[in-house]
Amino acid sequence: MRIIGRRSAAAVAVLAVAGSTAAAGRVPDPYAAPGPLPGLTAGTLTARYAAVHDQIETARTTAERAHDGGRARALARFLSPGRSFLSFDARGSGRAVEVLGDLARADRVAVVVPGADGLLTNFDSWKWAGGGARSLAERARQEAPGTRLAVIAWLGYASPSTLSADILTDGRARPAATALRGLVTDVHRLNARAGIALLCHSYGSVVCGRAGKAGPLPVDEVALFGSPGTTADSARQIFPSAQVWAGRSHADWTRFLPHARLFGVGFGRDPLSPAFGARRFDAGGGQHSAYLKPDSTPLANLTRIALHQDAEVTHG
């Protein structure tokens, strides 16, 4: 135990030094803070989408002037006809919240909460929030063509890097949880008829856990997948009125993590453990980033969870 502890402490120290070195070498961020937006109501939703579109357009112009080619290309894709964003912030690694479907008239709303390494430049990959949400929406059209599902790709927080000390604690998850709670509350106020599902991947499950710990949320389904833990001891502790699911693929590296929490490091009990009390779903045999891969077993089950089709979910 002493050897493991020393190795863990050394790893944290190395990561902290690396983070400090990176911070010292940062250049000024050329991107402006986003301006105020219309509130999230049925009457202002179109205006909100238009305002965020303008913010993205401004950020793309800045990216081109700053010769930030990767971001300029990503933002050009964001501006494609038919895409709708609730919020956007180009500063730092970036934040973006996209809506697929009719949020005001949906029967169901699924919020995809991504884990570490989320960036504007990888947002549209199915491994990340935007592309993953698109995979889910497409699968839902196949599974339940008559159901009106809106999917929110929520890169609404400063996603930590897996090569930083931030990945070891819930420091990033705490402010993210506040933002997530605000989104869910606003969506419920906008469309109180719709049931809401949270689909929480990897570090995103820490965010969801913290959001649930802070008080009741109007959600009826929660899926924790590829999760290192939630900082909670049980599903009922964080989402007492929702059906909580947990899944981990056979090739996911998180199966090797020690599920403990000491002095703020680590995330506690494994959501797949019987003591946690979540229902297990079949997450297939893919890698840690493959849960939302098109035509995969975990995508099928996550779609059924989003649709509130509990009886159709296959168990792991």
- H or E segment and range at residue 113: strand 108-113
* DSSP code at position 29: P
Within 8 A by CB and 6+ apart from 127, the residues are 289, 290, 292, 293
* DSSP code at position 25: T
Tokens of 81: 């006809």
Say how many C-beta atoms besides its own lie within 10 A of residue 113's C-beta: 31
Which ranges in the chain are annotated with CATH 3.40.50.1820? 92-312
Q: Pick out the chain residues at pLDDT < 70.
A: 1-27
* DSSP code at position 36: -
Domain 92-312: top CATH class: alpha beta
For residue 197, which amino acid is it? A
Say how many C-beta atoms besides its own lie within 10 A of residue 195's C-beta: 19
Half-sphere exposure of 174 (CA within 13 A, CB side): 5
Q: Does pTM surpass 0.85?
A: yes
Residue 178: C-alpha distances to residues 151, 181, 183, 207 (Å): 20, 5, 9, 9
Tokens of 111: 């919020």
Instruction: Sort residue 3 into left (φ over 0), alpha (ψ -120 to 50) or beta.
Output: alpha
- H or E segment and range at residue 112: strand 108-113
